[in-house]
Amino acid sequence: MMAKITLGILAAVGFAGQARAAGDFFEGNQLYAYCTSSYDYERGLCLGYVEGIVEYMEAVRANNDKPRCVPAGTDPKQVLNAVVNYLRDQPQDRSKAPIWSVSLAVLTEWKCP
């Protein structure tokens, strides 16, 4: 699990770095653009970012003696679809840091306390 968290965090950091390198601040609009891109590379960045945030979220929940939010064995594409749907349906949240949108999408989709 630690390797998965580390990979996700590295992808998230690289993703944020790439957005800043292009002169943009990383926000939900950029995440949504990458998640819905026709380029495999950009969709891969999106998936890596989402997986990293979810792994981090689950680690924090476990550290606080809370049960998993996303059921074990859930296909990462299901999580990605929940995030894309959330960003599509809540465009006002795209101006926020994407960690919040990813977290809210997951908490909403799986109705986590």
Q: Which two tokens stand for residue 66?
A: 């809370």
**Which of 6-20, 68-82, 85-99 has the weakest average pLDDT?**
6-20
pLDDT grade, residue 1 (50/70/90)? low
Count of domains forming the chain: 1
Write the CATH number for 92: 1.10.890
- How distant is the alpha carbon of residue 62 from its chain centre? 18
Q: Contact, 9 vs 60, CB < 8 A? A: no
Report the amino acid identity of residue 68: R
**Which of 30-39, 48-57, 60-69, 92-101 has the weakest average pLDDT?**
92-101
pTM, full prediction: 0.76
Domain of residue 83 covers: 2-109
DSSP string, 50-113: HHHHHHHHHHHHHHTTPPPSSPTT--HHHHHHHHHHHHHH-GGGGGS-HHHHHHHHHHHHTT--
pLDDT for the residue 54: 96
Q: What is the pLDDT of residues 11-51, one digit of tens each?
A: 444 544 454 444 445 789 999 999 999 999 999 999 999 99
